[in-house]
A = this chain, B = another copy of it.
Amino acid sequence: MKRLRGVNLAQIPIAYVDIRFFVHATENPKKVVEAVRRLLPANHIDEIIFERSNLKGHYGNPITVFEIRIKKREIVKAVVETLSSGLGELDKKALLREIGSHVEKGSLYVRLDKQAALQGEFKLCSADPVRVRIRFKKKKLEDIIKNCRELGLVCVLQCFTQVFAFPL
C-alpha cells in the first residue's frame, strides 16, 4: 500500500475506474460479488452499488452483467492501491510486455481471475474475468506507461528479461 501513500488525491492521473463482470447461470451471485469486493475499500462499501443488466450468451444462457463507474477520488485511489500492492511482479511484467493489448484509447484494462479474487489474490487472467478499466487523463501510450509505473501497476525496474528468444 505504501507506494501511493504520499500521492495527493488531486494529482491522481486517472479520470475514473470502471469495474465490470459477469455472473453466469451456474454461479452464485453473492459469491462473485464477494470476490469483487476484495478490490474495494471496506469503508466505502455501502456507496458502491453495482448496476445490473441481463444478457443472453451464445446459447441463450442468461448472464447477469454487474458494472459500476467509480469517480470518487478516494475510492479510485483505494482501488489502484489495492491492485498495485496485490498484483505480483510477474503479472506487472506481463502487463508492461503486452501493454499494447491492455491499453485502448486512453484506458488500461486489467482482467482479474474471479476464483483467485475470492481468495484475496489478484491475478491476471483472460477467461471470464473481473474487468477493471482505468481511464487515464492523458491518452498517449507513453504517458500511460509512465503513469502506470508511477502508480506501481506495471513493473518499475528495467524488467525486459523476456522469456522468448529472438531467433532472428
Return the 9 tightest CB-CB contacts between A and B, nearest first.
A59-B116, A61-B115, A142-B145, A142-B142, A97-B100, A26-B31, A28-B28, A142-B146, A98-B100
Q: Which residues of B contact A57 (CB under 8 A)?
A: 115-116
Name A139-160 residues within 8 Å CB distance of B.
Answer: 139-143, 145-146, 149, 158, 160
Q: Give the shortest distance, in Å, between A40 (CB) and chain B (any CB).
A: 17
Check if A13 is an interface residue, CB within 8 A of chain B.
Answer: no
Question: Do B100 and A61 touch (CB < 8 A)?
Answer: no
Classify the interface of chain A: helix, strand, loop or mixed: mixed
- A25 within 8 Å of B (CB atoms): yes
Please, how many residues of chain A have a CB less than 8 angstroms from a CB on the other chain?
54
**Chain B residues within an 8 Å CB radius of A123:** 58-59
A-B contact pairs, 6 of them (CB 8 A): A58-B116, A61-B115, A96-B141, A99-B100, A103-B160, A142-B149
Give which listed residue, B119, B121, B141, contacts A99 with CB less than 8 A. Answer: B141
How far, in Å, is A85 (CB) from chain B's closest CB? 17
- Contacting B at CB under 8 A, from A53-76, are 57-61, 63
Distance of A98 Cα from B52 Cα, bound (Å): 34
Which residues of A are interface residues toward B (Cβ below 8 A)?
Answer: 20-22, 24-28, 31-32, 35, 57-61, 63, 96-101, 103-105, 109, 111, 113-116, 118-119, 121, 123, 127-129, 131, 139-143, 145-146, 149, 158, 160-162, 166, 168
